[in-house]
Structure 1
Amino acid sequence: MKTFEWKRSSIALFAILLAVGAISCSGSAHSQNPKSEIRNSQITQAREVKPVNPKIVEANTRFGFKLFSEILKKDGKENVFVSPSSVAIALSMAYNGANGQTKTAMAKALEFQGMTLEEINQAHHNLKAALEKADPKVQLLIANSLWARQGVDFNPSFLDRNAKFYDAKVKSLDFEQPAAADEINSWVKESTRGKIPKIVDRINPNDVMFLMNAIYFKGKWTNEFDKSNTQTRPFTLVNGSKKQVPLMKRQGNYRYFETNQFQAISLPYGDERLSMYVFLPKSNLAAFQKSLTAQNWQTWMKQFSAREGQIQLPRFKMDYDVELKEALSALGMGIAFDDAADFSGLSKGTTKIDQVKHKTFVEVNEEGTEAAAVTSIGIVATSIRVPEEPFRMIVDRPFFSAIRDNQTGEILFMGTIVNPE
């Protein structure tokens, strides 16, 4: 479902990512299982911001553009908005339980080749700390949690790594009780400051674990748009027809880049460490999308320079959802969805990923940006093998945008807007 509407509101950008797991409950499921709270969620350590391993940002960037490209094959003519950072974090948490060919396939899809599990985990740990302290004028909080079914024997090292490196709240619940879903949803609501009040509708009998990641961002543009300058102007849709939309307008000095294919601008938040990048194709969005690769992105980022000019950008608000199983399989991790999947590092039961759902929300107005993303990774028990398949930049036509940490290079969100309603 995709819905859009215009609205002026407070500034916030957040993302939540949920990973849901289900594994076999057979065997000696109670011997080593913790009784109530398995691990403390927020490990209290002196939090010193350490250098971020550039390999993890490069991996997340390559993965993000590959994933986005696969999604566009299905939804290229519609509004698309995803959080590659959130999907990468969720899959990295699940990656800690993968072994054998499943681990190899996930490493390839996630671009982890050449990195050890320890390096990946430590890099994500440092990245989380760096992003949370990126800008004193911007709120950027990242929270993780792992909810386990009581009575199931999980691998202690899997739980420990998620608690240690991802600061995950780890707790066991009686999944037979309705209160279990309520408690999980309460954490979701709190972690997203009420933006996403519910993610778990029900807990199925073979669901035994939920892995969750929540990212919350709130910040204002460094230079806000004057609402009195916003005017209703025509916006050209993909089919050539026009519709009236409110275009915000501002004159100023921005980091800007232009080629014979597109115009691009960096719209900073707070102290300018984080920005929204807007790319406006000069021909059509479909042609530009073919050039969206991690390599081109890195090249473009180096060519922005300060320039005086005017930006006109539509206010917009949208919801988007997509099932990522097909896209991730195309990236080479299809075995993770097959009965042959090896997640023996997670538990003694044989398991596979059953589904990967991703939902997002974004709103852009004169004050700033608000956005959210939810990814649900369902892991189920396996038994019988079943095969799986000065410039003047007027943004009055379909465009691409991304929200990026300018210091580490981490891309939090990216999307294409073809119909800003």
Structure 2
Amino acid sequence: MGQRGLAGNIIIIGILVILTGVGGYLVLNNKLLTPAPEPTPASTPSPAPTSTSSASAVPAEKPKNIPQTHNAFGFNLFKNLKQEERNKNLFISPSSIAIALSMVLNGASGETKNAIQKTLSLNNLDINTVNGENLNLINISKKGDPKVELSIANSVWAKKGINFKQDFLSLVKNYYQAEISTLDFTSPSSVQTINSWVSQNTKGKIPTIVQSIPPQMRMYLINAVYFKGSWSEEFDKKLTEDRNFTPAEDTPKKHPLMQLQNKDLPYLETDTFQSVNLSYGQNEQSSSTNEQSSSTNKRLSMYVFLPKNLENFINSLSIDNWNKWMKQYKITEGTILLPKFKMEYEKGLINTLTSLGMGIAFQDKADFSGIGDGLKISEVKHKTYIDVNEEGTEAAAVTSIGMGITAIGAPKKTFYMEVNKPFFFAIRDNQTEEILFMGTLQNP
């Protein structure tokens, strides 16, 4: 391989909107290559290869491994970001970032591939398992609820005249249901085309992700997730009132706190935090003979954690602790006061991913030969949006069913949880156990 010429970029954009809007992109640089036939644009993604039928005809199985790896990656990423921005609001979608990086993983080789696998906590999972389970996550997300709107979309935007490996393009089309398009990156209309796709797939919550296309840009890989969910138990607007909220290292200020009073909710209290599970979707009677809260049989929930010390709590986040906590919620009657808030977050992730061990992917010695010659990642960007109010949340997410919450016979007590200081929250798919979003609100 000759010297690297004009850099070409592959951008991965993970976008989540409504409760949470997330947008991110990753840029790969490459030298100019011999013009080749353009990949065929795909408005309708092809199914992943199966021996009998298309992916759309095959019921999506619950992924066994990928949600755990995504969650572990998310905790590691979140803790690193929190070190960089201690007292700032932070909101990310580990699921969106992981799916975007998984697409690129398919084109990586050697040390570069190993570094991405390690960063994503994939351990010894083979690439077929990674791809197949990510496809299952995407398919499961399509099975919704009248009170929950969810979509997950991927796209690849390739520069005309550049030779990309057709096997790679076919793979992300089939397993990640990505739309494949080619654009004249020298035309100003290309920026508008990409941003229009982003805006459309985030219902306008993230209207732009690309400001301009530098000459070295070669490809954008975009992941867009949109979620809008109504609370199973809506907050009464008449009860929302200004109360004290004390930001980190600051004086109390007045802020609207919503109230949900005297409800049976999955609740957990330890020596270090209080936590409640607030679900989205229609209230349905559980098929279980046990007397369970409606929150227990919902596919998507927001888990709110009010720690005594937020920094110590963040440091304790791990896949083992998280899995342990998820088994300990008990149906408890109580009252929750939660801030009404909107948050936007944007962050370049190169430094953070480097600290997690992915540095080689951003260097000239990176090996993405499975995508094209001479590529390296030159930029990773993540952008999020969340709106939490009395009716529900707008965000990116995947819905699920069930979680092991207690039932009849559990000792009943009441709780009072006033979220009036910095707190941690996460949006979880209770069927797949995937954490779709996580964040801290330091100052509403």
Name the TM-score, length of structure 2 as normaliser: 0.84
By how many angstroms is 1:247 displaced?
A: 0.8
User: Measured at CA, do residues 65 and 22 of structure 1 come closer, stay the same or move farther in structure 2, by a change above 3 Å?
Assistant: closer
**2:304 aligned with 1:285, yes or no?**
no
Specify the code of the residue in structure 2 equivalent to 1:259.
Answer: T
Specify the code of the residue in structure 1 equivalent to 2:30.
Answer: S
1:261 is matched with 272
1:392 is matched with 416
**2:319 aligned with 1:294, yes or no?**
yes
**2:36 aligned with 1:31, yes or no?**
yes
By how many angstroms is 1:291 displaced?
A: 0.9
By how many angstroms is 1:52 displaced?
A: 2.4
Confirm or deny: 8 A CA contact 1:14 1:192 kept in the other structure: no
Confirm or deny: 8 A CA contact 1:16 1:213 kept in the other structure: no
Q: 1:95 aligns with which of 90, 95, 105?
A: 105
Q: Which runs of 4+ in 1 moved over 6 A?
A: none
Specify the code of the residue in structure 2 equivalent to 1:42.
Answer: P
**2:347 aligned with 1:322, yes or no?**
yes
User: Measured at CA, do residues 125 and 136 of structure 1 come closer, stay the same or move farther in structure 2, by a change above 3 Å?
Assistant: farther
Matches within 5 A, 1:236-251: 236-251=246-261
Q: 1:346 aligns with which of 368, 371, 378?
A: 371
1:158 is matched with 168
Confirm or deny: 8 A CA contact 1:275 1:406 kept in the other structure: yes
- Per-residue CA shift, 1:22-50, capped at 9, x if unaligned? 4435342x23434xx34454226434332
Q: Which moved more, 1:45-54 or 1:221-230?
A: 45-54
**What stretches of structure 2 of length at least 5 have no aligned partner?**
1-16, 48-53, 283-297, 398-413
Aligned mates of 1:152, 1:266 — CA distance in 2: 49
Alpha carbon RMSD of aligned pairs, Å? 1.7
SS of 2:376's equivalent in the other structure is: strand
Specify the code of the residue in structure 1 equivalent to 2:36.
Answer: S
User: Measured at CA, do residues 372 and 135 of structure 1 come closer, stay the same or move farther in structure 2, by a change above 3 Å?
Assistant: closer
Confirm or deny: 8 A CA contact 1:18 1:211 kept in the other structure: no
Specify the code of the residue in structure 1 equivalent to 2:195.
Answer: N
2:6 is matched with none
Aligned mates of 1:234, 1:16 — CA distance in 2: 29
By how many angstroms is 1:149 displaced?
A: 0.4
Confirm or deny: 8 A CA contact 1:362 1:369 kept in the other structure: yes
2:197 is matched with 187
Matches within 5 A, 1:58-97: 58-97=68-107
Confirm or deny: 8 A CA contact 2:22 2:385 kept in the other structure: no
User: Measured at CA, do residues 335 and 114 of structure 1 come closer, stay the same or move farther in structure 2, by a change above 3 Å?
Assistant: same
1:50 is matched with 60
1:307 is matched with 332
* Equivalences, count: 389
Specify the code of the residue in structure 2 equivalent to 1:33.
Answer: E
2:301 is matched with 275
1:336 is matched with 361
1:361 is matched with 385
By how many angstroms is 1:292 displaced?
A: 1.3
**What stretches of structure 1 of length at least 5 have no aligned partner?**
1-10, 374-389
User: Measured at CA, do residues 327 and 27 of structure 1 come closer, stay the same or move farther in structure 2, by a change above 3 Å?
Assistant: closer
Aligned mates of 1:26, 1:236 — CA distance in 2: 54
By how many angstroms is 1:137 displaced?
A: 2.9
Confirm or deny: 8 A CA contact 1:47 1:129 kept in the other structure: no
Q: 1:407 aligns with which of 431, 436, 441?
A: 431
Specify the code of the residue in structure 1 equivalent to 2:64.
Answer: P
User: Measured at CA, do residues 241 and 47 of structure 1 come closer, stay the same or move farther in structure 2, by a change above 3 Å?
Assistant: farther
Specify the code of the residue in structure 1 equivalent to 2:424.
Answer: F
Name the TM-score, length of structure 1 as normaliser: 0.89
Confirm or deny: 8 A CA contact 1:138 1:218 kept in the other structure: yes
1:378 is matched with none
**2:238 aligned with 1:228, yes or no?**
yes
Confirm or deny: 8 A CA contact 2:69 2:121 kept in the other structure: yes
Aligned mates of 2:267, 2:236 — CA distance in 1: 21
User: Measured at CA, do residues 27 and 232 of structure 1 come closer, stay the same or move farther in structure 2, by a change above 3 Å?
Assistant: closer
By how many angstroms is 1:53 displaced?
A: 2.3
- Per-residue CA shift, 1:78-104, capped at 9, x if unaligned? 111111111001111111110010000
Q: Indicate the percent of aligned positions where both proteins have the same amino acid.
A: 47
Aligned mates of 1:27, 1:323 — CA distance in 2: 28
Matches within 5 A, 1:101-140: 101-140=111-150
Q: Which moved more, 1:272-281 or 1:188-197?
A: 188-197
- Per-residue CA shift, 1:158-192, capped at 9, x if unaligned? 10000000000001111111111111111111111
Aligned mates of 2:416, 2:378 — CA distance in 1: 48
